[in-house]
Structure 1
Amino acid sequence: MFELHASKVANLKNDVLSGLTVALALVPEAVAFAFVAGVEPLVGLYAAFMVGLITSIFGGRPGMISGATGAMAVVMVSLVAIHGVEYLFATVVLTGLLQILAGLFKLGKFIRLVPHPVMLGFVNGLAIVIFLAQLGQFKVTNSAGELEWMQGQALYTMAGLIILTMAIIHLLPKLTKAVPSSLVAIVVVTVLVQSLGLEARTVVDFVRDMTNDPAASIAGGLPQFSIPNVPFNLETLTIILPFALVLAAIGLIESLLTLTLIDELTGTRGRGNKECIAQGVANTVTGFFGGMGGCAMIGQSMINVNSGGRGRASGITAAVALLGFILFASSLIEIIPLAALVGVMFIVVIGTFEWSSFRILGKVPKADAFVIVLVSGVTVATDLAVAVVVGVIVSALVFAWEHAKHILVTRTTNEKGSTVYEVNGPIFFGSVSNFLEQFKPDEDSDDVIVEFKNARVADHSAIEAIDTLAERYLSRGKTMHLMHLNQECKDLLEKADKLVELNLIEDPDYHIATDKLA
């Protein structure tokens, strides 16, 4: 799906250099997401540091980068606006605890059930979201204190530096792979801007525009431990629990889908349940240290993988370097041109988008093509979690509809004059109507045999359908024999249980999806 420049084997040098590259790209992202959530820039930066560090050490997917994300930030904004930042910290703690429970109950494995069309829609939609997010860097503050689109020389300079950055990233690997091309591009463009005195927007300009504070900076101290200053009562729980549930779901879905994507890129397999627990621990700790929480970041993860980052050292380096920027090197980071970071993210967009999906749209089933487009659109319009849930539901409904057509009942008459129905295919909620329509009680003989040897009763809807069928024949005074149903079916049947002829040798043994026997 993607074209990588580095090998699939972890290398300490590559991990450290790619981690530094990721750290540089994390700064504006963390600040932007903090702004979206309505909190101070350091709240986003601390989250990027703590979530990134803990998940890199304890997570189930080495090489994956986590931090403050936009998908979670958009959920936080109303909570912060109504109740304040302390309630956000309490919510983040509860979010982490819920994610830990998800990992302990091994719910991470269910991400493997996400259909491939949903995955394609996910990466395409997220690529579009990343691209649209970068367009915000083309806005500047005017004299009235409002953001407006760049024009004239400023726009030309920005565009030229972005093209230069992308050219370096694309061409340098053809000459050498000793250092990540993204890191070289950022350094070269920064040195060029400073040495030529070009008028170009920098990281500090972005921070000041976001905060509307001409003295704003990313400089700060170490995050301090603090228990969220909220009342510990039922009222607080009723406020934060709904937000925590949504944040936990969004965080796990985005993290596990990104994990699956990195698995495909690196040819390895991460551990989903371990990642759930690590994400939970990271958010719990972050909430106690004044961070806004977070989850896996596909953009930064792609930068890391494309820069050669494979091991845990890459994520650890990114987190530690980010803290170093905050504590000691804020003045150096603040002079980095935004154009360099935008150029890096544009390369990520190109690498993330599944361009072959245009080619396969006309070749795959129409339902799959619809799901790809639907998930992409919903990801852009709402958020990732909603898009994935919608995609899985639509895929499941399509699956049920298609398999509902696969139930076939053949009608014959045996040598004794009995009407014999042989059922082929799965009987479940989607196929019961088609199943019942294929019987003709009024036209059948007084003795009817229904053979289930080549069928499977899948759920309780199927049991109800068999009972309904039995009632139709009994009401007409006809005898019906149900052959080759398993014992579990007999236990669940109410009207037709005496019509089942069990054969301990030939009858199948399987379980029905129902809670009635629980």
Structure 2
Amino acid sequence: MNESFFRPKLFDAIRGYNRERFMADLMAGIIVGIVALPLAIAFGIASGVSPETGLVTAIIGGFIVSFLGGSSVQIGGPTGAFIVIVYGIIHKYGIDGLIIATFIAGVLLLVMGLLRLGTLIKFIPYPIVVGFTAGIALTIFSTQMNDLFGLGITDMPGDFISKWWTYFTHFSSVNFWALGMGLLSIGIIIYSPRLTHKIPGSLIAIVLMTVTAYLLRMQGIGAFETIGDRFTISAQLPKPVGVELNLETIRLLFPSAFTIALLGAIESLLSASVADGVISEKHNSNTELIAQGAANIVVPFFGGIPVTGAIARTMTNINNGGRTPIAGIVHAVVLLLILLFLGPLTAYIPMACLAGVLIMVSYNMSGWRSVINIGKGPRSDSLVMLVTFLLTVILDLTIAIEIGLLLAMLLFMKRVTESTRITVSKGKLDLTRAGEIAHHDEVLDIPEGVEVYEIEGPFFFGIANRFEETMATIGDRPRVRIIRMRRVPFMDSTGLHNLGNLIRMSRREGTDIVLSGVREQVREELTQAGIVELLGEKNVCADIQLALQQAHLITKK
């Protein structure tokens, strides 16, 4: 399928759709809906909003992602990756700021898809993804200590260090009922796969702990906090609200919105790519971005939080037989029915149990094996990962991604610069040692007063300066300088500018420049920059033999 077209997978899935396929999607959708229930509630509360907001996000966002998406099996909804940034936006700008930031992020995702940038998102350096994912995991873990230990802290600081200092100063007020429920929930999640793989451990933990909490309260035993103690659950979809936009709020919230959009794009396309490998299918990345954009544009009008593709729920969908977007739509319908008919029951879920669920989510997110593997690799990759991780934890996810990308690009350019070779030949040029294909083994004679320079690699701003330094180091003024460019794949504006300056400076010093083996694409760049006209067509040669002949003619003048 051509990536340039917007074509939801649902349109292809309904062709030849039959009862057997529907039954498989129906079962998968029901199971995914049940799996998504505790996660949607937990992510909503951890993000600083109500549990029903998490459910509404999963319902509306999940429906739109499945209806319009470019993946057959993608399940959309709130995810752990957004907890940190959503909590930070609410802390700084309130719920209204979050609504506006999410809406702007949706517009950005829509534009990314329309501009066909889906494939480019996949080129975000892996160490950055691992770094901020591990940082988010640690931050999520740190936000759950209050509920896990039942500390009852109401005014929690936003930054990582202050948060842990507050915990240490309040550990004398640990609620052992809450701690016991939290640890028991973690144990159930860890060990339940030994009994069944069909029912997720998080759901088993929430059901058992909720029943336990209800029975204990009926007997007047135990003092622990439940969702109902902190939130009022409304068993209905919220009414749409307006979004007020002006230039000042856009300017203020654009960095946060950009982070939401970039994070959403990375996570959703990563999830779709993982799914492709399992179901042997190819998703349409641009269509997927448009769907994610539409979901994040619509969800804020209902007070929802950011939406993206969820890897765990997507894999649950695949493992239970889901193969078309119908399964994702069923999952959204199941969550809607739960909200409408079983919503009040969620009030009995202990907060410590949700803390246990999120601690396990943070552990699974951490990707500690990937962290170790990158740490064993090149130092530059380890540095990018470490800086991104520390900035995510200590400062801000927005800053972490921006600095991480900048650092990755600088280190990449440094690597390219170091791998690009500049060699100089005088007197003789051995073509066989250079690995050049010739009619026979030959060593070419370089005429007196001629030097041959060869650049192997891209001729961009970092190399342009090194090239000038190489010639300055040699210190002589030959009659002709031949620059071999057969291994130069591209030139940037700095390389073109420096080459033009070199030609003019060399002429003033009585030295002519001859180019050899210029590739077609590079020749077009040289022509557009006026370099070919400056040199003259006869001084831009197809190969080294012709270049040496031209140099010989120049030296005889």
- Fold similarity call, TM over 0.5: yes
Q: Which residue does 2:129 correspond to in 1?
A: 119
Structure 2 vs 1, CA of residues 16 and 382 (structure 1 numbering), >3 Å: closer, same or farther? farther
1:362-441 correspondence to structure 2 within 5 Å? 362-405=375-418, 406-413=420-427, 414-425=445-456, 426-440=458-472
Using the TM superposition, name which of 176-185 and 57-66 deviates more: 57-66
Aligned equivalent of 2:238: 223
Q: Distance in 1 between matches of 2:120 and 2:210?
A: 44
Correspondence for 1:514:
none
Partner in structure 2 of residue 156 of structure 1: 176
* Separation in structure 2 between the aligned mates of residue 22 and residue 165 of structure 1, nearest angstrom: 17
Structure 2 portions without partners, runs of 5+:
1-23, 157-165, 428-444, 545-557
Amino acid at match of 1:420: E
Q: Does 1:272 align with 2:305?
A: no
CA distance in 2, matches of 1:297, 1:385: 20
Alignment pair present for 1:174 and 2:194: yes
SS in structure 2 opposite 1:294?
A: coil
C-alpha distance in structure 2 between counterparts of 1:203 and 1:297, whole Å: 26
Residues 130 and 370 in structure 2, CA contact (< 8 A), matched pair in contact too: yes
Aligned to 2:488: 455
- Where 2:288 maps in the other structure, the secondary structure is helix
Change (3 A) 1:174 1:326: closer
Give the residue type in structure 2 aligned to 1:66.
G
Change (3 A) 1:17 1:491: closer
Q: Quote the Cα distance in structure 1 between the aligned partners of 2:113 and 2:132.
A: 23
> Could you tell me how far 1:158 is from its partner in structure 2?
2.6
Asked if 1:344 corresponds to 2:368, the answer is no
- What do the CA deviations read for 1:439-495 (whole angstroms, capped 9, x no partner)? 157513323322222334421111112122223321212223222332431331459
The separation in 1 between residues aligned to 2:360 and 2:382, in whole angstroms, is: 26
In 2, the alpha carbon distance for the partners of 1:56 and 1:129 equals: 30
Q: Secondary structure at the match of 2:525?
A: helix
Are the counterparts in 1 of residues 105 and 261 from structure 2 also a CA contact under 8 Å?
Answer: no
For 1:173 and 1:114, the matched residues in 2 are separated by 34
CA displacement at 1:317 relative to structure 2: 5.3
How far 1:155 moved relative to its partner?
A: 3.1
How many Å apart are 1:506 and its aligned residue?
Answer: 5.3
Equivalent of 2:68 in 49, 58, 63 = 58
Query: Quick check: 1:253 aligned with 2:262?
Result: yes
Query: Partner letter of residue 265 of structure 2?
Result: L
Using the alignment, how far apart are the partners of 2:447 and 2:171 within structure 1?
A: 90
The equivalent residue for 2:78 is 67
Q: Which has the higher contact order (CA 8 A, sep 6+)?
A: 1
**TM-score, normalization by structure 2:** 0.74
- How far the C-alpha of 1:152 sits from its partner, in A, is 7.2
Separation in structure 1 between the aligned mates of residue 312 and residue 390 of structure 2, nearest angstrom: 21
Report the equivalent of 2:204: 184
The alpha-carbon distance between structure 1 residues 129 and 190, as it changes in their structure 2 partners (threshold 3 A), is: same
Distance 1:190 1:43 in 2: 20
SS in 1 for 2:478: coil
SS at match of 2:471: coil
Distance 1:78 1:162, change over 3 A: closer
Bigger shift: 398-407 or 187-196? 187-196
CA contact (8 A) 1:93 1:285 kept: yes
> Cα deviation per residue 1:373-394 (whole Å; 9 max; x = unaligned)?
1111222234444323322221
Matches of 2:104 and 2:380, distance apart in 1: 38
Distance 1:130 1:274, change over 3 A: farther
Q: Which amino acid aligns with 1:331?
A: P
Instruction: Give the C-alpha shift of residue 13 in structure 1.
Output: 3.0
> Alpha carbons of 1:345 and 1:52: their partners in 2 closer, same or farther (altered >3 Å)?
same
Within the candidate set 479, 482, 491, 1:446 is matched to 479
Give 1:513's aligned residue. none
TM-score (norm 1): 0.79
- Is the Cα–Cα contact under 8 Å of residues 526 and 532 in structure 2 kept in the other structure? no
- Going from structure 1 to structure 2, the CA distance change for 1:472 and 1:238 (only over 3 Å counts) comes to same
Task: Pick from 225, 236, 239 the counterpart of residue 201 of structure 1.
Answer: 225
Give the whole-Å Cα distance in 2 for the aligned partners of 1:422 and 1:321. 69
Following the alignment from structure 2 to structure 1, what is the Cα–Cα distance between the partners of residues 171 and 524? 76
List per-residue Cα deviations over 1:52-105 (Å, max 9, x = no partner): 332233233534432384324533555548xxx4x8656654543343222111
Amino acid at match of 1:472: M
> Partner amino acid for 1:52?
G
Contact persistence 1:361–1:369 (CA under 8 A): yes
- Flag the structure with higher helix content: 2
Residue 355 of structure 1: which of 355, 368, 382 is its match?
368
- Further displaced range: 315-324 or 394-403: 315-324
**Do the aligned partners of 2:128 and 2:405 also contact (CA within 8 Å) in 1?**
yes
Contact 2:44 2:51 in 1 (8 A): yes
CA distance in 1, matches of 2:63, 2:146: 28
Distance in 2 separating the partners of 1:378 and 1:145: 26
2: distance between equivalents of 1:361 and 1:32?
A: 29
State the AA in 2 paired with 1:179. I
CA distance, structure 1, for counterparts of residue 193 and residue 25 of structure 2: 17
* Range with bigger deviation, 378-387 or 70-79: 70-79
Q: Do the aligned residues in 1 keep the contact of 2:189 with 2:205 (CA within 8 Å)?
A: yes
How many residues are matched? 471
State the Cα distance separating 1:417 from its structure 2 match: 0.8
- The 3 A distance-change label for structure 1 pair 175 and 264 is farther
Distance 1:377 1:402 in 2: 23
Aligned-residue RMSD, C-alpha? 3.5
Equivalent residue letter for 2:459: I
Q: Displacement of 1:188 after TM fit?
A: 1.8
- Deviation string for 1:170-193 (max 9, x for gaps)? 222223323223222221222233
State the one-letter code of the partner of 1:437.
E
Question: Residue by residue, what CA displacement relative to the aligned partner does 1:308-365 show, whole Å, maximum 9, x if unpaired?
Answer: 5766466545544544454332321010122322222222222222222454355311
* Percent of residue pairs bearing the same amino acid type: 23
- Mapped partners of 2:179, 2:316: distance in 1: 23
Secondary structure in 1 matching 2:452? strand
SS state of the match for residue 224, structure 1?
A: coil
Residue type of the alignment partner of 1:131: F
Q: 1:74 to 1:275 in 2, by over 3 A?
A: farther
Aligned ranges 1:478-493 → 2 under 5 Å: 478-485=511-518, 486-493=523-530
- Does structure 2 conserve the Cα–Cα contact (< 8 Å) formed by 1:91 and 1:243? no
Matches within 5 A, 1:233-312: 236-243=245-252, 245-263=254-272, 265-266=274-275, 267-268=277-278, 270-288=283-301, 290-296=302-308, 301-302=311-312, 305=315, 308=319, 312=325
Q: Quote how far apart the aligned CAs of 1:118 are.
A: 1.6
Q: Which SS does the other structure have where 1:438 is aligned?
A: helix
Of the three residues 130, 135, 156, the one matched with 2:145 is 135
| AA partner of residue 187 (structure 1) | V
Give 1:67's aligned amino acid: P
The AA in structure 1 aligned to 2:264 is: S
Q: Which amino acid aligns with 2:78?
A: G
- Structure with larger Rg: 2
